[in-house]
Amino acid sequence: MAEDCIRVLVVDDTVTYRNIVKFVLAGVPGIEVVGAAANGKIALDKIEQLRPDMMTLDLEMPVMDGLEVLQHLKQSGDDVGTIVLSGTTERGASVTLKALELGAFDFVAKPTCGTSEENVHALKADLQPKIEAFARSLHVRKLLSGQVRRNSGTVATAAPVEKNIMPPRVDVVGPARAELVAVGISTGGPQALNQMLPQLPAKLGAAVLIVQHMPPFFTASLASDLDKRCSLKVSEAIDGQEVKPGHVLIAPGGKQMKVVRAGPCTIIRITDDPPENSCCPSVDYLFRSVTRVYGQNAIGVIMTGMGNDGTLGCRQMKQRGAAIIAQDEASCVVFGMPREPIEEGIVDVVAPLEEIAAEIVRRVPHQVVV
C-alpha cells in the first residue's frame, strides 16, 4: 500500500456487517483496512496499536458502545475520523445526532431488511462517497500542514484545493429588507447548525428555511434538538404550514420542500417530487421556489457539504437580486457545496462558520415576534 493511503478500522459487533463494510472499502482506491473490532473496548485498543486515520463505527454494541468510543476519543484528543453506521429508527436518529455532536464525520444508515445483495449495494452507494469525502478532507488538512505533496494519485488526493475567492464584503445600504433566509447544508451540518442557529436572535425579522441532507426520522430529531438550543422556534416543516418571521423550518428527510404564495401568506409545500442532484430534500429545489416567491427579499446561505446541490439555486437567487452567503473552506467539514458558488463569483460574502449568523442579522430587520 502507498504511504499516503487512508488506514481504516472497521468496528461492528456483527461479523456479517464487518465483512460487508470491508467488502465496500476494498473497492475504494487509496483505502487500506488495517483491522476490525467487535466492540468499543477492543476498538480503542486497536486505535492505540494501529493508529488508523479513520474508522467505521457501529453505535449499538456490547461492552462499550459507539458513543462511549467517541466520548473517549474526544477526551483523549485522538484524531480518528469516524463514519457511524446508524439504525433508521427514531432512537437511531437521536443516537446518531449525539455521535455527530461528539465529532463523527458523517453517518450511513444500516440496511433494515437483512444483508441481501440489494441492501449491500445500497450501503455501498451511501458509504463509498462519504469515505472518499473524508479522504479528500484529510488530504486537504495534510496539504495545509505540508505533510504530503499535491501529485499523489490516490482517492485521498483529489484535485488540489484552490484558495477561497474572497469577494468584497457588501455593505447593507438603507433599511434591511430580507424576509426569508434559505440555508443549504449537508456533511457536517448538524455540528454547524448547532453553532450557527443559537446565535440568531429571538426577534429575527425573517423566517429561516433549512435543507439538511438527511433521511426520514433524522430531520425530526435534528429539529427537536436545535429547538432546545435556540431562541428561535425550530421544527420540522409540515405541508401547508405558514412561513413566519422568527421560525426555523427544516425540510423533512426523504421529501422535497418548497414555498408558494397562498393569498397574502407564504406556505410550505412538502412533496414527493423526485430527487435533484441525487438529494431529497434538495437545496436547489427549495432555492428555486424561494427565487420565485421572494426574489431580492431573500438571503441564500450555502454551507458545509459534499457535492454541488445548491449551486444552481444560488445562481438563480443571485440573478433575482438576493444576497448569497457562503461558508469558508477552513471551517467546512467538506468544502463541496460552497465551492462552486464562490468560484463563480456569485457569493456576496465568504464567512467562517462563527460569523455566518452575524452576516444574516446584518441583512434582516429586527422585530418583535408574536
Confidence of residue 79 (pLDDT cuts 50, 70, 90): confident
Quick check: is 73 in a domain?
A: yes
φ, ψ for residue 249, nearest 5 deg = -120, 130
Same domain, 111 and 232: no
Residue whose cell numbers read 426569508:
180
Confidence of residue 217 (pLDDT cuts 50, 70, 90): confident
Tally of domains within the chain? 2
Mean pLDDT of 331-354: 96
Same domain, 191 and 311: yes
Please report, for the domain that includes residue 43, its CATH number: 3.40.50.2300
CA 17 to chain CA centroid, nearest Å: 25
Catalytic positions are: 186, 213, 309
Distance in angstroms (rounded) separating the CA atoms of residues 95 and 82:
14
pLDDT at 370 over 70: no
Kindly provide the b/e burial profile for residues 46-81, where b requires at least 16 CB atoms within 10 angstroms of the residue's own CB: bbeeeebbbbbbbbbbeebbbbbbbbbbeeeeeebb
The three cell numbers of residue 138 are 484529510
Same domain, 282 and 213: yes
pLDDT tens-digit readout, 237-279: 999 999 999 999 999 999 999 999 999 999 999 999 999 999 9
Same domain, 200 and 125: no
Share of the chain above pLDDT 70, in %: 86
CA 299 to chain CA centroid, nearest Å: 19
Of 343, 298, 341, 337, which is closest to residue 320 (Cα–Cα)?
298
Mean pLDDT of 173-198: 88
SS3 113: coil
Residue of 87 and 315 predicted with greater confidence: 315
Same domain, 358 and 220: yes
Same domain, 86 and 199: no
The three cell numbers of residue 294 are 421572494
Quick check: is 370 in a domain?
A: no
Same domain, 136 and 224: no
Same domain, 263 and 338: yes
Same domain, 260 and 341: yes
pLDDT tens-digit readout, 353-368: 999 999 999 999 876 4
**106 - beta bridge partners?**
83
Quick check: is 162 in a domain?
A: no
Same domain, 204 and 124: no
The three cell numbers of residue 79 are 484524531
Domain finish residue from 121, 145, 169? 145
Distance in angstroms (rounded) separating the CA atoms of residues 301 and 284:
12
Please report, for the domain that includes residue 348, its CATH number: 3.40.50.180
φ, ψ for residue 132, nearest 5 deg = -65, -40
Mean pLDDT of 142-166: 46
Q: Within 249-295, where are the H helices?
A: 283-294
State pTM to two decimals.
0.87
Q: Is the dihedral of CA 162, 168, 169, 173 positive or negative?
A: negative
Kindly provide the b/e burial profile for residues 19-44, where b requires at least 16 CB atoms within 10 angstroms of the residue's own CB: ebbeebbeebebbebbbbbbbbbbbb
Quick check: is 337 in a domain?
A: yes
**H helix or E strand, kind and range, residue 149:** none
Domain that holds residue 44: 6-145
Distance in angstroms (rounded) separating the CA atoms of residues 92 and 133:
23
Quick check: is 204 in a domain?
A: yes
Same domain, 128 and 11: yes
**149 - beta bridge partners?**
none
Contact yes or no for 22/33 (Cβ under 8 A): yes
Quick check: is 106 in a domain?
A: yes
Report CA-CA distances (Å) from 12 to 36, 68, 99, 123: 8, 14, 15, 15
**Alpha-carbon dihedral 174, 328, 324, 219, rounded to 10 degrees:** -120
Quick check: is 110 in a domain?
A: yes
pLDDT at 20 over 60: yes
Residue of 109 and 160 predicted with greater confidence: 109
pLDDT at 151 over 50: no
Same domain, 127 and 197: no
Quick check: is 33 in a domain?
A: yes
